[in-house]
């Protein structure tokens, strides 16, 4: 088992770094890929929390109004 394989085995289950996201890519491309992933995660979280807020908001406000 080579050094790279040992390192990958040791990191299994841990978050990826930018260089592991696109092995062999230039640092600029790896950085752009990381930025893209971060923006995608932000959009998904924003949309997800919006849906949760729309569903739970009326329920919470009704409970507050009852008190």
Query: Which one-letter DSSP state was computed for residue 7?
Result: H
| Phi, psi of 49, rounded to the nearest 5 degrees | -65, -30
Element holding 29 (H helix, E strand): helix 27-66
pLDDT at 58 over 70: yes
Domain positions in the chain: 3-66
Confidence at residue 29, expressed as pLDDT on a 0 to 100 scale: 87
Radius of gyration of the chain from its Cα atoms, rounded to whole angstroms: 21
Query: What mean pLDDT is predicted for residues 27-34?
Result: 86
Tens digits of per-residue pLDDT, 1-16? 566 666 666 666 666 6
Which one is predicted more confidently, 52 or 14? 52
* The model's pTM: 0.56
């Amino acid at each position: 088992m080579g050094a790279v394989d040992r390192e990958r085995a040791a990191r299994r289950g841990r978050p990826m770094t930018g260089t592991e996201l696109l092995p062999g890519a230039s640092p600029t491309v790896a950085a752009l890929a990381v930025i893209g992933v971060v923006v995608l995660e932000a959009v998904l979280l924003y949309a997800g929390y919006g849906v949760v807020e729309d569903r739970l908001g009326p329920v919470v406000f009704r409970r507050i109004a009852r008190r």
